[in-house]
């Protein structure tokens, strides 16, 4: 059954490389965490391949258990939490990940390995004490809850807007893939370890496909030449507009702010790259904001930043006569 660990290894490596490229283009805590998660899963799958082909050693068994059984779901959940709550959670994600890794590595490498069972049972020859079992179960249960709950909540948000159907489907695939991965662990505990990597390969593939759908560019929708009538603020009311945007940044989560921007007629463009005009508008907005709100703006996804900058430039600072404010 080594074919399925090899397949899981190839899929997870492809996922790690793809997400790492996204994280390099658009540095965000959740992208970095997801790239690390897929790399950790690749380490686990690679350990399974080496153990199956060349024989297991105590070190190989511990590496597999630490990466595949303990950490990977928790790391994916930390990425999801950083996406949902970038201001309150995102900044703490690296520290939490390091703390979990140190704690788990201490318990795993302190656990004895039954040499008599090692070559026939592989990583299951690790004798897991109550603390290691509690940590493993706790991380996987809480991680699955965060991943599935967060993905389904995002899918519901997209469904409410009746836009971005691909993103909604992507979120559902992430939730379903997480459950498939969890099913693999359950099958192992029920005495069917040969099915573990069947579920793992399928589940990771579903998660990655869902991820790509959530980030896939959507074809631009042709905009009518005539804009709908809006109530424009005269330029002398710029302080009121500034207060309005600052309150959005202080009170709303990224998904809520994006929904408000769409309701206020902002263009829905999911591209992670700004045009030169987008960048000028965003910089003008950032320069106008107080220091306390700038970090909140910087933490928003690029598409949401673009929508806020568009509203600031074309609606909130538009003259009552329909002209554009200077700058």
CA 14 to chain centre: 16
Backbone angles phi, psi at 60, to 5 degrees: -65, -40
Q: Which of 290, 275, 292 lies closest to 310, judged by CA?
A: 275
Q: Which residues pair with 126 in a beta bridge?
A: 113
Q: What pLDDT shows up at residue 164?
A: 62
Q: What pLDDT shows up at residue 250?
A: 80
What are the b/e assignments for 212-223, b being 16+ CB within 10 Å?
A: bbbbeeeeeeee
Report the topology of domain 3-215.
Rhopdopsin 7-helix transmembrane proteins (1.20.1070)
Q: Which residue reads 């690790």 in tokens?
A: 126
Overall pTM surpassing 0.75 (yes/no): no
Q: What pLDDT shows up at residue 214?
A: 74
d(CA 273, CA 222): 19
> What DSSP character marks residue 70?
I
Q: What share of the chain is helix, strand, coil (3-state, %, to 5)?
A: 75, 0, 20
Contact, 279 vs 310, CB < 8 A?
Answer: no
SS3 113: strand
Contact, 26 vs 302, CB < 8 A?
Answer: yes
pLDDT in tens, the chain (327 residues): 688 888 888 988 988 998 899 888 878 888 899 999 999 989 988 998 999 899 999 999 999 999 988 998 899 899 888 888 877 788 899 999 999 999 999 999 999 999 889 888 888 899 999 999 999 999 989 988 998 888 888 788 777 766 567 777 878 888 888 888 777 666 555 555 556 677 777 888 888 888 878 766 544 444 444 444 444 444 445 677 788 888 888 866 777 788 888 888 888 887 778 888 889 889 988 888 888 788 888 888 888 899 989 888 888 776 433 444 444
Domains of the chain, residue spans? 3-215, 235-316
Q: What pLDDT shows up at residue 86?
A: 79
Going from the C-alpha of 312 to that of each of 130, 165, 308, the distances in angstroms are 56, 27, 6
């Amino acid at each position: 059954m080594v074919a399925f660990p090899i397949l899981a290894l190839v899929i997870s490596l492809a996922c790690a490389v793809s997400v790492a490229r996204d994280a390099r283009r658009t540095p965000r805590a959740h992208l970095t965490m997801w790239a690390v998660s897929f790399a950790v899963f690749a380490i686990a799958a690679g350990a399974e391949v080496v153990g199956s082909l060349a024989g297991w050693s105590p070190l190989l068994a511990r590496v597999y258990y630490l990466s595949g059984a303990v950490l990977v779901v928790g790391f994916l959940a930390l990425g999801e939490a950083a996406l949902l709550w970038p201001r309150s959670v995102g900044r703490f994600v690296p520290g939490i990940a390091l703390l979990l890794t140190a704690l788990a590595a201490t318990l795993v490498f302190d656990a004895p390995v039954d040499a008599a069972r090692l070559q026939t049972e592989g990583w299951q020859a690790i004798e897991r004490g109550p603390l290691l079992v509690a940590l493993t179960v706790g991380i996987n249960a809480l991680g699955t809850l965060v991943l599935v709950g967060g993905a389904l909540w995002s899918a519901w948000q997209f469904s409410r807007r009746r836009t971005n159907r691909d993103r909604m489907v992507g979120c559902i695939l992430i939730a379903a893939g997480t459950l498939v991965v969890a099913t693999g662990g359950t099958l192992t505990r029920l005495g069917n370890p040969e099915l573990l990597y069947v579920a793992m390969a399928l589940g990771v593939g579903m998660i990655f496909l869902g991820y790509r759908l959530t980030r896939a560019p959507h074809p631009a929708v042709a905009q009518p030449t005539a804009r709908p009538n809006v109530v424009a603020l005269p330029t002398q009311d710029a302080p009121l507009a500034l207060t309005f945007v600052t309150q959005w940044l202080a009170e709303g989560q990224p998904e809520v702010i994006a929904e408000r921007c769409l309701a206020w007629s902002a263009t829905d463009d999911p591209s992670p790259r700004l045009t030169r005009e987008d960048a000028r508008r965003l910089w003008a907005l950032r320069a106008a904001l107080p220091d306390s709100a700038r970090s909140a703006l910087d933490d928003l996804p690029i598409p949401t930043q673009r929508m806020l900058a568009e509203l600031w430039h074309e609606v909130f600072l538009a003259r009552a006569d329909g002209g554009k404010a200077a700058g």
